[in-house]
Amino acid sequence: MAKITHLKYPWNGGWVGMLLIQGKKNILLDTAVEEAVPTFLKDALANAGLTFQDLDYVINTHEHEDHSGGNAAIKKIVPNCPTGIHVEGSHRYPFDFTLTDNMCVDGGDYTLRLLHTPGHSPDASSFLIEEEGVVFTGDSFQGSGAEFSSLILIQNPALYYASIEKMQKLANDGVYHKMYLGHEFVDQNKKLCSELNGKDEIIPFLEYCKQTAMNYVQFCREHRDMTIDECTDAIDDLYGYTKTPLMPFLRTITVSYLKQRIKDGTL
């Protein structure tokens, strides 16, 4: 039976989540940022009775810097520890292997399956520990945003909806019953949320993720004349989390993508 620990590296007023899976093989999902490696991660591994030398794989949910940024520092310590990611995320950093949807990594006494859940980014992936019914979703599902950005960050709403529906079906089918998130995202009760337990929590949360994205899209469609900044401010007023996000430059990203997609006819 695998032991699963949700690690939370303090970052920009919140945290970046990672998942440490200990079994016959030890796998670390995501690495936060470079500075986390010699401090937080080293201590977290020690608390679990491990060192970097005990890691069999490092695998990332996607290539964004706050999720893969610690990889190089880990490779400096353990050059032979293989790093992997979904094939669409293999361009920003060097990785040793790539995965595609439904590919599995053998943990010895557990199976880790990649579930491709794009929308936030093309490579965004969730990982299922099959025997435990646990998933780690990184940034794949974001409620109505986070403290650092106020708004959700999605590149492709159609893929985001499809990923949500896929994970709702798997929860309904009993494939998993626990979901760990990659940041503290805002849930349907306007509370910061780090994990969801059981389909009664998971399915409404995912529905709220979808509804939030649909609200953004509808607003952008109905206000094509607004600039990116005007549209972002209005969406933040209606659906955002905080008026003082800790990384304010992230606020405009989703509206930029949506407006571009509407303009070029792909949304």
Residues that bind Fe ion in the complex, under the rule CB under 5 A: 64, 139
Half-sphere exposure of 120 (CA within 13 A, CB side): 28
Phi, psi for 22 (deg, rounded to 5): -110, 125
Question: What backbone phi and psi angles, to 5 degrees, belong to 51?
Answer: -125, 175
Please report how close the Cβ of residue 25 comes to Fe ion at its closest, in angstroms. Answer: 26
Q: In the complex with Fe ion, which residue's Cβ is closer, 83 or 140?
A: 140
Q: Give me the least distance between CB of 106 and Fe ion, in Å please.
A: 27
- Starting at the edge strand found earlier in the chain, the sheet holding 125-129 runs 104-106, 111-116, 125-129, 134-136, 178-186, 192-197
- In whole angstroms, the minimum distance from the beta carbon of 23 to Fe ion comes to 27
Smallest gap from Cβ 153 to Fe ion, in A, equals 6
Cross-strand partners of 195: 180
Smaller CB separation from Fe ion, 86 or 199 = 86
Nearer CB in complex with Fe ion: 178/183: 183
Closer to Fe ion at the Cβ: 64 or 251?
64
Please report how close the Cβ of residue 243 comes to Fe ion at its closest, in angstroms.
22
Nearer Cβ to Fe ion, position 48 or 253? 253
Rounded-to-integer distance, Cα 144 and Cα 218, Å: 15
Cβ atoms 57, 27 nearer than 8 A: yes
Longest pairwise C-alpha distance within the chain: 57
Give how far Cα 216 sits from Cα of 7, 11, 140, 201, 237, Å: 31, 26, 17, 23, 12
Q: How far apart are CA 15 and CA 12, in angstroms?
A: 7
Helix, strand or coil, per DSSP, at residue 40: helix
- 6 vs 64, beta carbon nearer Fe ion: 64
Provide the minimum distance between the beta carbon of 138 and Fe ion in the complex, in angstroms, as a whole number. 7
